[in-house]
Amino acid sequence: MEPLFKTDKNIFLWTDVETFLIKSQYNEMLLTVNNEYEVQYPSNKPNKPSFLNKFNCLTLEPCHATEGLVRTFQEKNKVIDSIKLFADANKQFNVAVTKRDEAQTNYQQSLDSYNNLVGGTKQTKVDENALKAAEIALTERKKALDLAEKEVQGAIFYNCVDFSFIYWLFLPDFHYIRKQSVPTIPTPPLGEQPVNFNFDTRGLTVGAVLWLYFYERMGIFKILGALLDDYNYRGKYTISGRRKDSKEQPVNYSFLMDMICTLHRAGISSNLRDRICLYQRVLGVTIENNLGIESERNSGFMNTFNRLIDYMLEYYKAKQLAQAIQSQSALTQPRSSVATQTSIRDNIKILQQHFEPLQYGRNQINTFLGIATVHATLCLVNMLKAEIGIPTQYEKPEEFIPAAYDILVAKRSPAVNEANRFILYDNCASYGYRLLTDIETIDLELIPALSLGSNLDTWLNDIEGIVEGYRNAYSAVPEKVGAIV
């Protein structure tokens, strides 16, 4: 069967991000995030959050080989010792340490003997010869200890190599798999070619920009900004910078916090200016800001997208009406409006032309860095929620993200509201991603407008839940009009 969805040969992958300075730092951070995700949402347990479901969005997951590689480098001594340079250095270092330890023991024994002799002079007369011999022995053994210490310093090359840089090389994996919800037509009408609905990608589509945009409006980057501001400057919350606490237990969040801080200080973080331009140039929408940024705006994108959804909803309404009539008649299958199908195809064609701006400038890199930062923030908030006053029993993102927004951004006590901020924007992001990715990659030649049982009918039936889910979610979020440029 012919694939209905075509993968663009020019699709942008994580490995296309340049330079190594950027990629290495994000590789290290995302490896930390993936490892912590496994603690927060174990793979052997079902019902992972939507942002970690590869059937819902382009999600972050560890490279399939990472686990084995990490184990290998955790046993790095075995790898290092197989290299003669490191093996010789290790042997030299171990011999020097053994010699130093023996010299330390001998010196301590001489020091104890000398102190006993000196201490005894107050009660009894000490043997002057014994005291002199003890002084000579102490001096000689001190010289031997100093010499052994110098040998250790000279052989310390082995222990002075920081092999943690290896974690810069572990690539994260981004993955989306399209999940089909209705069966395909085994024999399409009028000689129409059978199609395959299977599709997966590890690269960016415009849907990823829409996903990032709704997480931006959720307040993820405002939460991160408040955390960084407090950690670096204000100090209102007890966010530790230590790697271990007083009980020698690791303070895991401090690693990730410092990684994110370093990205900002190095100027390679996902920043507000980049994201504003990304949303304006690709989606034609903006977010609240006072930067006054002027950039090219894809002004027709949202209008065409909303018009397409209206046509799709009209199609579903007509289908439901036809099915209701069919149940009372002898018709075997309801017919679809060719006019509505034609309008849907025409608007998809127009919308596909609006997808091109993603390929311009740094839009693709900025999208990837933004998605990476969203995952880092979601992970970080979960790790240090107790430090900022979020109840520890809030284990789900729909619980601790709204609470973090209330505390850090809105400056109020956490409250359970009628509309959950995380759920609303996450639904918009995941439904919008899947819908736009279908629209961007679909082959229009394989879905002609036919009145009865066509591939276009099958596809529209397959995405009915996604279309209605997006429209319902979008109609429930606040500030809809103000966000459209």
Three-class secondary structure assignment of the chain: CEECECCCCCCCCHHHCCCHHHHHHHHHHHHHHHHHHHHHCCCCCCCCCHHHCCCCCCEEEECCCHHHHHHHHHCHHHHHHCCHHHHHHHHHHHHHHHHHHHHHHHHHHHHHHHHHHHHHCCCCCCCHHHHHHHHHHHHHHHHHHHHHHHHHHHCHHHHHCCHHHHHHHCCEEEEEECCCCCCCCCCCHHHCCCEECCCEECCCCHHHHHHHHHHHHHCHHHHHHHHHHHHHHHCCCCCCCCCECCCCCECHHHHHHHHHHHHHHCCCCCCHHHHHHHHHHHHCECCCCCCCCCCCCCCHHHHHHHHHHHHHHHHHHHHHHHHHHHCCCCCCCCCCCHHHHHHHHHHHHHHHHCCHHHHCCCHHHHHHHHHHHHHHHHHHHHHCHHHHCCCCCCCCHHHHHHHHHHHHHCCCCCCCCCCCHHHHHHHHHHHHHHHHHHHHHECHHHCCCCCCCCHHHHHHHHCHHHHHHHHHHHHHCCCCHHHEC
Contact 302, 283 (CB under 8 A): yes
Q: How many CA atoms lie within 13 A of 198 on its CB side?
A: 3
pTM (two decimals)? 0.81
Q: List the chain domain ranges.
A: 2-63+174-483, 78-163
pLDDT of residue 130: 83
Angle between helices 464-476 and 300-326 (to 10 degrees): 120
Give every CB contact of residue 272 below 8 A, 6+ residues apart in sequence.
221, 289, 291
pLDDT of residue 169: 85
pLDDT of residue 484: 44
How many whole angstroms separate alpha carbon 57 and alpha carbon 177? 8
How many whole angstroms separate alpha carbon 356 and alpha carbon 217? 24
pLDDT in tens, the chain (485 residues): 788 998 877 789 999 998 889 999 999 999 999 999 999 999 888 889 999 999 999 999 988 766 666 666 656 555 555 666 667 777 787 888 899 899 999 999 988 888 887 775 555 566 788 888 888 888 999 999 999 888 887 776 655 666 677 788 889 999 999 998 887 666 666 666 788 898 999 999 999 999 999 999 999 999 999 999 999 999 999 898 888 877 777 888 999 999 999 999 999 999 999 999 999 999 999 888 888 888 889 989 999 999 999 999 999 998 888 777 766 554 455 566 788 889 999 999 999 999 999 999 999 999 999 999 999 999 999 999 999 999 988 999 999 999 999 999 999 988 777 678 999 999 999 999 999 999 999 999 888 877 677 888 889 999 999 999 999 999 998 765 445 43
